[in-house]
Amino acid sequence: MKPLGMAPRRAARWLACLAVPSLFLQQGLLSFTRGSPGWTPLAPSPPPLPSPPVPSPPRPSPPPRPAPRLPSPTPTPAEVVDLDATYPPEPHAWWESPTPPPWLLRLHAQMGGLQRVQARLHQTWKDEEPPRRLFARRWRQALRDANPGWDYRLWTDADNRKLIASRYPWFLRAYDRYATPIQRSDAARYFIAHAYGGVYADLDIECFRPFEPLVRPGVSLLLSYKQAHNFSRGACNSIFGSAAGHPFWEVVFDVLRNRSAITPRGHNDVLFTTGPAVLREAVRRLLRLPPSTQITSSMLAHLREHLGVWVLDAKYLHPVTAERRKEDSRDQLPPEAVCTHHFVSSWVAHDSSKHAVTEKRRWEGHAMAATEGHGQPLRTVNDW
């Protein structure tokens, strides 16, 4: 099946740096192909509906059917964040004004100066035994060897939940309610970064140089482009660094809350609700840009100057794209490369037959989402 007009190569590219993607192998996206509860925009806590039979869409497009309204229990505060009201877009480019806007001064005060990224490494897996058939033990070891003296912690699902329950209890209901494990894994890492600071890296990332030159003074948050220096696909959440308590994460939490009641109908919705699109939206809100403004590198330069947020070119942390992974020999990496990504994922798995199966299911999930859309167009990557 042609995946909705998108060349597989291109799809692989923008899917390239997703979070612990192999979770999909275990439990994640497979659930999309079972009973998808239908598109219930921002309806809190829907009990799963029995999945309706999937009709072939009549052509031309069917008259829009109203989305089923589910009884809405009183929304909890975790579900109500009006982003426009909380981060009102600035009508003009605030960085051109001679005086900093009041919200920026408040952020500075809150940060108490630009803190450095803590010397801590975080990884997560559902339990304490990341399967060796997926993740070479030496990748984990290399991360630690390259950063001697840094603390290391492998967070399990239970640890993640405990952190949220104890320090961010207002988010627990939304966290528990996420439809897929990958959403919980995505969200948890942002809370870890806020609570402890340090560098988070997925288990399929191998690093061979220290983070030290990247997490230098003046850098309090380190994000990266997924490709070259183009923000159109969001910021990678498979590896990033942060000072503990960086106000960026509070914006991320607000974006998570704003999107937490969306039930994903397909992979793009996962990206949208918890993945790289959340980081991108948080950057946009931090810059007080009007919704869906394209974020340019000159805007990001202001973010770096004012808030210590550095967005790295992909060549540092993601020097190869998923489809080029097989050619990935060390001497072909750019000299700036600190890490490389092995893309142990459901769609680029080591096991090509597994890859084919999960890839097929993934696109079936998309196709199903398209026909189940109740008049809602399928969310495409450009709608993030």
Ligand X SMILES: *[C@@H]1O[C@H](CO)[C@@H](O)[C@H](O)[C@H]1NC(C)=O
Q: Applying CB under 6 A, which residues contact ligand X? A: 42, 79-84, 230, 232, 258
Q: Could you tell me the smallest distance in angstroms from the CB atom of residue 191 to ligand X? A: 19
Taking the C-alpha atoms of residue 323 and residue 16, their distance in angstroms, rounded to an integer, is 8
Instruction: Specify the residue, 33 or 230, whose C-beta has the smaller distance to ligand X.
Output: 230
In the bound complex, which residue of the shown chain has the CB atom lying closest to ligand X? 84
Residue 285 or 341: the one with the smaller Cβ distance to ligand X is 285
Shortest spacing between CB 232 and ligand X, in angstroms: 4
Measured CA to CA in angstroms, residue 178 lies from 258, 338, 370 at distances of 13, 33, 21
Q: Which two structure tokens, joined as six digits, stand for 15?
A: 């899917």
224 bridge partner residues: 312
Tell me which residue of 218, 230, 223 sits closest to 252, measured CA to CA.
Answer: 223
Q: Which two tokens stand for residue 135?
A: 């993740």
Least distance to ligand X from the beta carbon of 81, Å? 5
Task: CB nearer to ligand X: give 118 or 183.
Answer: 183
Residue closer to ligand X (CB basis): 1 or 85: 85
**In the block, residue with structure tokens 């560098």:** 199
92 Cβ contact list (under 8 Å, min separation 6): none
Instruction: Tell the smallest beta-carbon distance from residue 174 to ligand X (Å).
Output: 11
Q: Which is nearer to ligand X, 83 or 287 (CB)?
A: 83
Alpha helix locations (H) across 114-177?
Answer: 137-146, 157-167, 172-177
Q: Is 262 helix (H, G, I), strand (E, B) or coil?
A: coil
Per the structure block, which two tokens stand in for 104?
A: 């920026």
Least distance (Å) from ligand X to the CB of residue 75? 7
